[in-house]
Amino acid sequence: RALGASGLRVALPAPGHPLGLSGPPEFNARALEAEEAVICEGAALGLVPEVYEAGPEGDVHVEVVWHCLPVREAPPADVPSLGEAERELAEALRDATEVLTRLDVAGSGPVAEAAVAAYRARAERGREVLAPGYPPRAVRVLELAQRVGMLVSLASENGHGGAVSASEMAARGDALRPVERVARRAQVAAYNSVVAERGMR
């Protein structure tokens, strides 16, 4: 705050998709490697986490060191509004469902089913996905984006589902990639909604 920061924005970049970043190249490269970063609103600074394990065998713990670097003061890349994010999620889910159903390669299995059941159990325990003060729409968008992201992750971790041919595997991957991208965009829009709304006033 002493340096002028009035809020924090989340960035969730991936290779080929600098989501939430504004440069310079050095910061973007570090953020892409970590696949996440925090950008200060009102101060030209960004934070990138470095996660590593420490401690003797049998007592290993995870430590996170945040590296503070200069950033370019510019609009973050490719971050939608909450309304756009919600619409994109619905469209991406519909399109992917149609493609996967047509190909009959959605795939599942005991591992995927157990993971989905565990996710539902966590959700039903009433965990808060955002701190008090966020708009209800942000909570709704984030919950859906996290659910979609989890399902895409499960689909990716469980091989190629029911796909048996190379063309089916490629089609399945092509159907899932835009859904994953849209889910990340929606998460960033939800996390950053308070700062974004403040900036529009």
HSE on the CB side for 167, CA within 13 Å? 1
* Distance (Å, whole) CA 96 – CA 93: 5
- Does residue 163 contact residue 169 with C-beta atoms inside 8 Å? yes
- Name the amino acid, one letter, at 183: A
Per-residue confidence in pLDDT tens, the chain, 201 aa: 899 999 999 999 999 999 999 999 999 999 999 999 999 999 999 999 999 998 899 899 999 999 999 999 998 999 999 999 999 988 887 877 776 666 554 455 554 455 555 555 555 555 678 888 898 999 999 988 988 887 777 666 555 444 455 666 676 677 778 888 999 999 999 999 988 877 655
Euclidean distance between the first and the last CA atom of the chain, given in angstroms as a whole number: 20
* Distance (Å, whole) CA 119 – CA 99: 25
